[in-house]
């Protein structure tokens, strides 16, 4: 909130990659995102979709990003993929700052052409809606062939063999025949598989799946989640899975990041975040969800109110208007000072003004028994 | 939600209608559906020769009892939404009968249906598509009164504002337009409109699937409260098995236009009998990372077959791991294998060692499989 003038300046000038341009900071993880900000100037004001996000991810690990619509999860993934500024025209429309280090290369300040060379080969993305992500006019095979030939200097025949191999790997029956089908000839689950095949054709080291199963039925969802898990084991890539479904995250993620109003409110090892969440918003999410594994018919505990506007994010803690504990900290702290992420041990961070012990007590005494 | 039968008998006399005596009789179902069929014809060529049919709903039987919530689950394309449109008579059934409060409404003309429309209302999935963007909230919620020629006590505006308050909106919203509201608020407006004429049966087609988790819980709680307060009967159609478990008293599981299992909530989730139900339940991700290794998941192969040309015999046999010869030749009927637990399967799960071909009398085997 304090540095909005800087952000505006960032809209015109090149974003600030502060220290030692071109060289990875020491101890950097495979993917290291530091203080990422993505702001969109609109007629109504500056939309702060992502406002100071920091996280890291190693190869072979899966990070789950959860949050409701408008919390900034998808904007984050597009930022990592360099898709907010793929062209000069887009470049002027979005203000990005912070650093994204992928395997020692900084992406925020990098030339769009440089990012384009990485996109598809080192990092790839699976989108939510396969029907709009696949081109209806070209055969599935041709689209995979194209994705492969952009990054590999091979002839069409070799690329086609590779496409068939990938379709087979993701479980499409009769891949040598289906390779010539068009997307409309595939079912929803098969389209999602085809998209995964396309994303993995170049063996990317980072795979981002943005709501990969939201449009699918549960039985198909289970198949796709299994497939993503198996493929990760096989290729050892880093995976970011973005979803609003805590169940999907619990199924796949090693680490969890909870977003609210463009910021991270809690992150840590998935087991810790689920068994002892430390942020009232995470409690709210868990309390809002009906559980398939329990016969509970009393009332759910929803979060009151609705998500904040990203143009006018509440001052202090963004969650304060909806937080039942907002009045507990002294000096009106929740409404004036933005809480920093603080560690509570074992890589578990949360951003809340309430003292750790107090939150621990509320969780074990008030929240957990009601879930 | 469970003890609304008492509520119901108290509330029903408040509502208009002549058949109330029958409905409050406890045993008599509010809605009775028998052999309901809806085929959408596929025509070909210049002469519109019928080349086949999408068998969206293909012979289903069920009752809805007053005061209860019947949940209907199934994957996309199983016919659950078509079923919802049929029982509200927004669509004309191809066959079978629908009785509402003992009266056959299967083929009533739109004019004859009009009085019934007051008692049966619908809540739609998409809170953006179901509200006219050019009408004010007041106009939208008062439409049912104008269409039915009802003059509420104390005037239209007052009644609409009372309804808005009932669903948790502010009465000052009366003159606003839908675009000024969030998804959750719009869904509340849709609910207010559905409740305007004090309906007996509310059919909700995916009422919360378009909403965020925290908002979803608000709307689920609201529907819960309203049911208790107004003695409503719900048919809730959804694909989310967690939501259905939370809201329903009884649950019907549909697959390719058929009901494959119909049971009390507890029995269905704790000991499902149809292999499809079992697979469906095992596929739902549980928000608990510790459980991910312990779970015994059944992965179904392939996709749902086309409803244009469904498999012979049991429709689930193409994906079923228990399918045998009999499944391809004979269609399993929906029979009660335990009290309050109907299932259509030749090889039911959790049914003990009893040969499935000879289904037992209702009530027998209630002790097994628990």
Instruction: List, run by run, the mean pLDDT of 10-residue segments along chain A (371 residues).
Output: 40 42 67 94 89 93 91 91 75 84 90 89 89 91 94 94 93 91 90 91 93 85 89 90 91 94 94 94 91 77 86 91 89 88 92 93 89 78
Distance CA B352, CA B296 (A): 20
**A156-169 and A140-151 are packed helices; what angle lies between their axes, rounded to 10 degrees?**
120
Topology given in CATH for the domain delimited by B1-43+52-119+197-255: Rossmann fold (3.40.50)
Per-residue pLDDT, A24: 59
The yes-or-no verdict on residue B253 having pLDDT over 60 is yes
Partners of B263 in beta bridges:
B251, B341
Q: Which residue has the higher pLDDT, A91 or B10?
A: A91
Helix%, strand%, coil% for chain B, nearest 5: 35, 20, 45
Q: Where do we find the tokens 């006399």?
A: B13
| Residues facing residue B69 across a β-bridge | B234
Q: Helix axis angle, B4-11 relative to B213-230, nearest 10°?
A: 50
Check if the beta carbon of residue A297 is closer than 8 Å to that of residue B2: yes
Whether B370 has a pLDDT exceeding 50, the answer reads no
| CB burial string B33-42: b at 16+ within 10 A, e below | beebbbbeee
SS3 sequence, B125-144? Answer: CCCCCCCCCCCCHHHHHHHH
Alpha-carbon span A102 to A119, nearest angstrom = 11
For the segment B230-247, the average pLDDT, to the nearest whole number, is 93
**Residues B235/B305, Cβ–Cβ less than 8 Å:** no
Question: What's the rounded Cα separation, in Å, for the pair B362 and B337?
Answer: 6
What span, in angstroms and rounded, lies between the C-alpha atoms of A285 and B28?
40
Dist. CA B270–CA A292, nearest whole Å:
10
Name the helix (H) or strand (E) containing B43.
strand B31-44
Phi, psi angle pair for A347, to nearest 5°: 75, 20
Query: Is the Cβ–Cβ distance between A293 and B290 less than 8 Å?
Result: no
Q: Give the best residue of B184, B224, B246, B268 to mutate against chain A (max A CB count within 10 A).
A: B246
User: Which of the residues B244, B269, B287, B316 would you substitute to probe the A interface, choosing the one with the greatest number of A C-beta atoms within 10 Å?
Assistant: B287
Q: How far is CA B344 from CA A113, B30, B257, B331, B363, in A?
A: 59, 24, 13, 8, 16
Stated pTM of the model: 0.83
Residue B367 has pLDDT above 90, yes or no: no
Cβ neighbours of B287 in A, within 8 Å: 246-247, 249-250, 274, 286, 289, 291
Strand partners, B254: B259
Nearest Cα neighbor of A208 from A81, A112, A116 is: A81
pLDDT of residue A31: 95
Contact assessment for residue B299 and residue A222, using Cβ atoms and an 8 Å cutoff: yes
Query: Which residues in chain A have their CB less than 8 angstroms from residue B182's CB?
Result: 306
Q: Across-strand partners of B44?
A: B49
Tell me B333's DSSP state: P
Name the residue among A187, A253, A292 with its Cβ closest to that of B286: A292
* Chain A residues touching residue B245 (CB < 8 angstroms): 290-292, 295
In angstroms, how far is CA B83 from the centroid of its own chain?
A: 8
Query: What separation in angstroms does the CA of A236 have from each of A104, A209, A228, B227?
Result: 18, 15, 11, 51
User: Between B2, B215, B303, which is nearest A297 by CB?
Assistant: B2
How does A340-366 read in b/e, with b if 16+ C-beta sit within 10 Å? ebeebeeebbbbbbbeeeebeebbeee
| Spatial separation of the C-alpha atoms in residues B116 and B105, rounded to whole Å | 9
Query: Could you read off the pLDDT of B133-156 as tens digits, one per residue?
Result: 999 999 999 999 999 998 888 899
Give the integer Cα–Cα distance in Å for A103 and A101.
6
- The three-state secondary structure class of B189 is helix
Q: Count how many pairs of residues, chain A against chain B, have C-beta atoms within 8 Å.
A: 138
| % of chain B with per-residue pLDDT over 70 | 87
Q: Does B241 touch chain A (CB under 8 A)?
A: yes
pLDDT, one tens digit per residue, over B254-298 is 999 999 999 999 999 999 999 999 999 998 888 888 877 666 788
Helices B137-148 and B183-195 cross at an angle (nearest 10°) of: 20
Do residues A67 and A244 touch, judged by C-beta distance below 8 A?
Answer: yes
Q: What are the structural domain ranges in chain B?
A: 1-43+52-119+197-255, 134-191, 274-343
Answer yes or no: do B241 and A218 touch at CB < 8 A. yes
Cβ <8 Å between B283 and A291:
no
Q: Which long-range contacts (CB under 8 A, 24 or more apart) does A144-152 make?
A: A144/A179, A144/A194, A144/A197, A144/A198, A144/A201, A147/A120, A147/A198, A147/A201, A147/A202, A148/A201, A148/A202, A150/A120, A151/A117, A151/A120, A151/A121, A151/A202, A152/A202
Instruction: Identify the pLDDT of residue A23.
Output: 60
Encode pLDDT of B165-216 as tens digits.
999 899 999 999 999 898 889 999 999 999 999 999 999 999 998 888 888 8
Quote the pLDDT of residue B357: 45
Enumerate the domain spans of chain A: 290-370
- B247 contacts in A (CB within 8 Å)? 290
CA separation for the pair A297, B224 (Å, rounded):
10
Of residues A340 and B14, more confidence is placed in A340
Which tokens sit at B361? 């009398």
Q: What does the H/E/C string look like for chain A?
A: CCCHHHHHHHHHCCCCCCCCCCCCCCCCCCEEEEEEEEEEEECCEEEEEEEEEEEEECCCCEEEEECCCCCCHHHHHHHHCCCCCCCHHHHCCCEEEEEEEECCEECCCCCHHHHHHHECCCEEEECCCHHHHCCCCCCHHHHHHHHHHHHCCCCHHHHHHHHHHHHHHCCCCCHHHHCCCCHHHCCHHHHHHHHHHHHHCCCCCEEEEECCCCCCCHHHHHHHHHHHHHHHHHHCCEEEEEECCHHHHHHHCCEEEEEECCEEEEEEEHHHHHHCCCCHHHHHHHHHCCCCCCCCCCCCCCCCCCCCCCCCCCCCCCCHHHCCCCCCCHHHHHHHCCCCCEECCCCCEECCCCCHHHHHHHHHHHHHHHC
pLDDT level of residue B20 (50, 70, 90 thresholds): very low
Strands A238-243 and A206-210: parallel
Q: Which two three-digit tokens encode residue A78?
A: 């597009």
CB within 8 Å: B287 and A286:
yes
Q: How far apart are CA A107 and CA A86, in angstroms?
A: 12
Contact: B269, A251; criterion CB under 8 Å = no
Residue B133 contacts A, CB cutoff 8 Å:
no
Q: How many CB atoms sit inside 10 A of residue A262's CB?
A: 27
To the nearest whole Å, the CA of B218 is away from the closest chain A CA by 6
Q: Does A300 touch chain B (CB under 8 A)?
A: yes
């Amino acid at each position: 909130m304090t540095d909005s003038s800087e952000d505006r300046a960032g809209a015109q000038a090149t974003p600030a990659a502060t220290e030692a341009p071109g060289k990875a900071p020491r101890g950097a993880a495979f993917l290291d995102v530091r203080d990422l900000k993505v702001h969109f100037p609109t007629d109504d004001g500056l939309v702060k979709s992502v406002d100071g996000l920091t996280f890291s991810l190693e190869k072979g690990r899966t990070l789950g990003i959860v949050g409701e619509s408008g919390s900034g999860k998808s904007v984050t993934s597009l930022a990592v993929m360099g898709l907010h500024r793929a062209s000069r025209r887009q470049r002027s429309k979005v203000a990005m700052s912070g650093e994204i280090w992928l395997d020692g290369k900084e992406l925020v300040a990098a030339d769009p052409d440089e990012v384009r060379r990485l996109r598809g080969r080192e990092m790839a993305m699976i989108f939510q809606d396969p029907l709009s992500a696949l081109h209806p006019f070209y055969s599935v095979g041709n689209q995979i062939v194209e994705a492969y030939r952009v990054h590999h200097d091979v002839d069409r025949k070799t690329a086609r063999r590779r496409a068939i191999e990938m379709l087979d790997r993701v479980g499409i029956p009769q891949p040598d025949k289906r390779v010539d089908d068009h997307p409309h000839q595939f079912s929803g689950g098969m389209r999602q598989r085809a998209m995964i095949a396309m994303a993995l054709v170049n063996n990317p080291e980072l795979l981002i799946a943005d709501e990969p199963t939201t449009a699918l039925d549960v039985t198909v969802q289970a198949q796709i989640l299994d497939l993503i898990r198996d493929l990760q084991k096989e290729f050892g890539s880093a995976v970011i899975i973005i979803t609003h479904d805590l169940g999907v995250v619990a199924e796949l993620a090693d680490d969890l990041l909870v977003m609210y109003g463009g910021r991270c409110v809690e992150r840590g090892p998935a087991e810790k975040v689920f068994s002892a969440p430390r942020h009232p918003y995470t409690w709210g999410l868990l309390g809002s969800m009906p559980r398939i594994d329990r016969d509970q018919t009393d009332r759910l505990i929803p979060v009151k109110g609705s998500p904040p506007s990203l143009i006018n994010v509440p001052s202090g803690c963004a969650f304060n208007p909806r937080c039942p504990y907002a009045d507990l900290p002294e000096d009106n702290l929740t409404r004036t000072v933005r809480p920093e992420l603080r560690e509570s041990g074992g890589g578990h961070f949360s951003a809340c003004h309430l003292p750790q012990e107090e939150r621990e007590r509320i969780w074990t005494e008030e929240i957990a028994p009601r879930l | 939600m469970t003890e609304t039968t008492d509520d119901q008998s108290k509330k029903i006399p408040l509502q208009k209608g002549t058949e109330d005596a029958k409905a409050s009789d406890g045993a008599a179902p509010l809605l009775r559906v028998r052999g309901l069929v809806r085929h959408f014809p596929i025509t070909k060529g210049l002469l519109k020769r019928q080349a086949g049919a999408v068998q969206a709903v293909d012979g289903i039987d069920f009752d809805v009892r007053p005061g209860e919530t019947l949940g209907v689950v199934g994957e996309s394309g199983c016919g659950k939404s078509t079923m919802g449109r049929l029982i509200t008579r927004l669509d004309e059934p191809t066959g079978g009968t629908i009785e509402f409060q003992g009266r056959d409404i299967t083929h009533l003309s739109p004019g004859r249906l009009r009085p019934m429309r007051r008692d049966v209302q619908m809540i739609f999935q998409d809170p953006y598509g179901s509200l006219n963007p050019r009408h004010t909230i007041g106009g939208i919620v008062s439409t049912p009164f104008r269409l039915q020629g009802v003059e509420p006590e104390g005037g239209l505006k007052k009644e609409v504002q009372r309804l808005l308050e009932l669903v948790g909106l502010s009465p000052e919203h009366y003159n606003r337009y839908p675009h000024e509201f969030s998804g959750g608020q719009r869904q509340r407006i849709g609910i207010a409109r559905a409740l305007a004429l004090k309906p007996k049966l509310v059919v909700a087609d995916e009422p919360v699937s378009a909403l965020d988790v925290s908002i979803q819980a608000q709307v689920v709680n609201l529907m819960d409260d309203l049911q208790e307060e107004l003695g409503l009967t719900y048919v809730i159609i959804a694909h989310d098995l967690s939501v259905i478990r939370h809201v329903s008293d009884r649950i019907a599981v549909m697959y390719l236009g058929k009901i494959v299992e119909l049971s009390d909530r507890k029995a269905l989730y704790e000991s499902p009998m149809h292999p499809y139900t079992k697979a469906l339940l095992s596929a739902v991700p549980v928000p608990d990372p510790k459980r991910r290794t312990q779970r015994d998941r059944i992965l179904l192969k392939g996709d749902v077959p086309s409803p244009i040309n469904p498999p012979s015999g049991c429709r689930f046999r193409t994906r079923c791991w228990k399918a045998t010869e009999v499944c391809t030749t004979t269609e399993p009927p929906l029979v009660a294998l335990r009290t309050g637990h109907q299932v259509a399967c030749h090889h039911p799960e959790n049914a003990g060692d009893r040969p499935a071909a000879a289904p037992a009398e209702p009530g027998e085997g209630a002790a097994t499989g628990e």
